[in-house]
Amino acid sequence: MQDEPLYRPTSDSQMSNERTEHPAERGQGGELHQTPRGDTPRMTTAQGTPVSDDQNSLKAGARGPTLMEDLHFREKMFHFDHERIPERVVHARGYGAHGYLEVTDAIPELTSAGLFQKEGNRVPAFVRFSTVAGSKGSPDLARDVRGFAVKLYTEDGNWDIVGNNIPVFFIQDAMKFPDLIHSVKPEPDRGFPQAQSAHDNFWDFVSLMPEAMNMVMWVMSDRAIPRSLRFMEGFGVHTFRFVNAEGEGTFVKFHWKPKLGMQSVVWDEAVTLNGADPDFHRRDLWNAIQSGDFPEWELGVQVFDDAFADTFEFDVLDATKLIPEEQVPVRIIGRLVLDRVVDNFFAETEQVAFCTQNIVPGIDFTDDPLLQGRNFSYLDTQTKRLGGPNFTHIPINAPKCPFHHFQQDGHMAMHNPKGRANYEPNSWSQGGPRAAPKQGFQSIAERVQGDKRRVRSETFADHYSQARQFYRSQTGVEQGHIANALVFELSKVEVPGIRERVVSHLLNIDDGLAQDVAEGLGLWTMPKAADPARTPIDLPVSDKLSILKNGPDRFEGRKLGLLVTDGADADLVGGLMDAVEEAGGTVEVVAPKVYGVTLSNGKTLAAQQKIDGGPSVLYDAVAIIVSEDGAADLKAMHPARAFAADAYAHAKFMALSEAAGALLDAAGVTDRDDGMTVLSGKAEAAGFIKACCKLRYWDRVS
Active site residues: 91, 164
CA 284 to chain CA mean position, Å: 11
Member of 381, 475, 550, 600 binding ligand HDD (CB under 6 A): 381
Transcribe 403-429 into DSSP letters: -------STT------SS--SSS---T
Question: In the bound complex, what is the minimum distance in angstroms from residue 175's beta carbon to ligand HDD?
Answer: 8
Transcribe 593-648 into DSSP letters: STT-EE-TTS-EE--SEEGGG--GGG-SEEEEE--HHHHHHHHT-HHHHHHHHHHH
| Side-chain-facing half-sphere of 260: CA atoms under 13 Å | 24
In the bound state with ligand HDD, the residue whose beta carbon lies nearer, of 196 and 239, is 239
In the bound state with ligand HDD, the residue whose beta carbon lies nearer, of 234 and 334, is 234
Member of 134, 157, 163, 575 binding ligand HDD (CB under 6 A): 163
In the bound state with ligand HDD, the residue whose beta carbon lies nearer, of 93 and 650, is 93
In the bound state with ligand HDD, the residue whose beta carbon lies nearer, of 175 and 444, is 175
Member of 97, 252, 319, 663 binding ligand HDD (CB under 6 A): 319
* Pair 617, 646: CB distance under 8 Å: yes
In the bound state with ligand HDD, the residue whose beta carbon lies nearer, of 157 and 167, is 167
Output phi, psi for 643, to 5 deg: -55, -50
What residues between 224 and 263 interact with ligand HDD by CB under 6 A?
Answer: 237-238
| Side-chain-facing half-sphere of 168: CA atoms under 13 Å | 28
Question: In the bound complex, what is the minimum distance in angstroms from residue 302's beta carbon to ligand HDD?
Answer: 16
Question: In the bound complex, what is the minimum distance in angstroms from residue 368's beta carbon to ligand HDD?
Answer: 9
100 binds ligand HDD (CB under 6 A): no
Question: In the bound complex, what is the minimum distance in angstroms from residue 224's beta carbon to ligand HDD?
Answer: 14
For the chain, report the end-to-end CA distance as a whole number of angstroms.
75
Nearest to 598 by CA among 629, 575, 564: 564
Amino acid at 638: H
How many residues comprise the chain?
702
Is residue 88 part of an annotated ligand binding site? yes
* Pair 444, 243: CB distance under 8 Å: yes
Strands (E) across 305-412 are located at 331-341, 363-364
147 binds ligand HDD (CB under 6 A): yes
Is residue 122 part of an annotated ligand binding site? no
661 binds ligand HDD (CB under 6 A): no
* Binding segment (CB under 6 A) for ligand HDD, from list 157-165, 432-440, 629-637, 672-680: 157-165
Is residue 374 part of an annotated ligand binding site? yes
CA dihedral of 71, 74, 77, 79, whole degrees rounded to 10: -70
* Pair 72, 116: CB distance under 8 Å: no
Q: Which residue is nearest to ligand HDD (CB)?
A: 147
Instruction: Give counts: helices (H), strands (E), the chain.
Output: 18, 18
Cα separation, 472 vs 538, in Å, equals 10
Question: In the bound complex, what is the minimum distance in angstroms from residue 177's beta carbon to ligand HDD?
Answer: 4
Member of 125, 370, 490, 659 binding ligand HDD (CB under 6 A): 370
126 binds ligand HDD (CB under 6 A): no
In the bound state with ligand HDD, the residue whose beta carbon lies nearer, of 545 and 664, is 545
Nearest to 326 by CA among 174, 20, 550, 657: 550
149 binds ligand HDD (CB under 6 A): yes
Is residue 153 part of an annotated ligand binding site? no
Q: At what angle do helices 496-509 and 476-492 cross, to 10 degrees?
A: 160
Is residue 283 part of an annotated ligand binding site? no
Report the alpha-carbon angle 139-143-145, nearest 5.
100
**Burial of 633: CB neighbours in 10 Å, binned 0-12, 13-18, 19+:** middle
Question: In the bound complex, what is the minimum distance in angstroms from residue 113's beta carbon to ligand HDD?
Answer: 21
* Binding segment (CB under 6 A) for ligand HDD, from list 82-90, 214-222, 482-490, 682-690: 82-90
177 binds ligand HDD (CB under 6 A): yes
The residue count for binding ligand HDD (CB under 6 A) is: 27
* Binding segment (CB under 6 A) for ligand HDD, from list 377-385, 455-463, 633-641, 674-682: 377-385
In the bound state with ligand HDD, the residue whose beta carbon lies nearer, of 130 and 272, is 130
In the bound state with ligand HDD, the residue whose beta carbon lies nearer, of 114 and 163, is 163
Question: In the bound complex, what is the minimum distance in angstroms from residue 382's beta carbon to ligand HDD?
Answer: 6
Looking only at Cα atoms, what is the longest distance across the chain?
90
* Binding segment (CB under 6 A) for ligand HDD, from list 85-93, 418-426, 476-484, 527-535: 85-93
Question: In the bound complex, what is the minimum distance in angstroms from residue 508's beta carbon to ligand HDD?
Answer: 23
* Binding segment (CB under 6 A) for ligand HDD, from list 369-377, 491-499, 552-560, 644-652: 369-377
* Binding segment (CB under 6 A) for ligand HDD, from list 366-374, 415-423, 504-512, 569-577: 366-374
Nearest to 231 by CA among 526, 524, 455, 556: 556
Transcribe 23-83 into DSSP letters: GGGB-TTSPBPPPS-TTSPPPB-TT-PBPS-SSS--BSSTTSPBPTT-HHHHHHHHHHHT-
Question: In the bound complex, what is the minimum distance in angstroms from residue 90's beta carbon to ligand HDD?
Answer: 5
* Residue list for the binding site for heme: 88, 128, 177, 374, 378, 385
Q: Which residues contact ligand HDD (rule: CB under 6 A)? A: 88-91, 94, 128, 130, 147, 149, 162-164, 169, 174, 177, 237-238, 319, 352, 354, 370, 373-374, 377-378, 381-382
